Amino acid sequence: MKNTLKYLGTMFAMVLLMTGCGSKSAEDTFSDAIDKTNDFKNLQFAMKVDASISAQGTTMGIGMNLEGEGGEEAAHITGKLTMLGMEQDMEIYTVEKDNMMYSYQKDDEGNWTYTKEAFNKEEMDTEKVLKKLKEYKSIKKVKSDKKGYTKLEVVYDGKKLNEAASDETVKETLGQDVKIEKDLVVNVYIKDGYISIVSVDLGELAKDLVKEQGYEVKATITVEMSKFNKVSKVTVPEEVLNNAKEEVE
């Protein structure tokens, strides 16, 4: 009898493995990845933006490719901004010091300028941002198109996004009232337990924002993160600190 139960138990375990019933759910996988990612001290990241706006037969393309590394105290970012067929190189250092955030940026002529503003840690709290990711409408695992990554399709409720868009700060930024009607689908890739890639097609959402103006909008944003807690401390070169001139509005 004991041997029979043993064999039945072994067979049951094999069935669970073969059917995937013993694997972690999409909800748990995402929740655990959010919690683990929240603990990062530094990382390497890249962001790619591809967008276009069309109106009356004319299309304007906008693109941005950024790469950077750092943590909460300091970061270094380089990249290119493309607009109307023209490219602009970008290089930025950000540093938190004495409750102020300093941003150093190199202009087209190679000169450095900087701005500073009060730094509110609560507004920049990574934990709060990551917790917002858990407020999804639905989630499911889908076949990954990237080897070694678990891919999740996460849907956020358009009604809740609409509530966020009704915020006075958002209205002031956009210069108008907006009404979001569609849900937002976000593709999340997880590797080694971390949220490593977030990719979203903002085309449908952007159409809601500008439909009254008659624009046709396409926009995708992809953010990749890697080398969690393996990046050296970022320091601003003395040459930049000594020569940067403050920009005053």
**pLDDT tens digits, 56-99:** 778 888 899 999 999 878 999 999 999 877 889 999 999 988 88
9-18, 138-147, 165-174: range with highest mean pLDDT: 138-147
Is the CB of residue 199 less than 8 Å from the CB of residue 220?
yes
With bands split at pLDDT 50, 70 and 90, how would you rate the model's confidence at 50? very high
Is the CB of residue 83 less than 8 Å from the CB of residue 76?
no
CA–CA gap between residue 202 and residue 20 (Å, rounded): 33
Segment 147-191, tens digit of pLDDT? 999 999 999 988 777 766 665 555 554 555 566 778 889 999 999
With bands split at pLDDT 50, 70 and 90, how would you rate the model's confidence at 143? very high
Radius of gyration of the chain (CA): 23
CA–CA gap between residue 220 and residue 186 (Å, rounded): 11
CA–CA gap between residue 218 and residue 113 (Å, rounded): 33
Is the CB of residue 48 less than 8 Å from the CB of residue 64?
yes
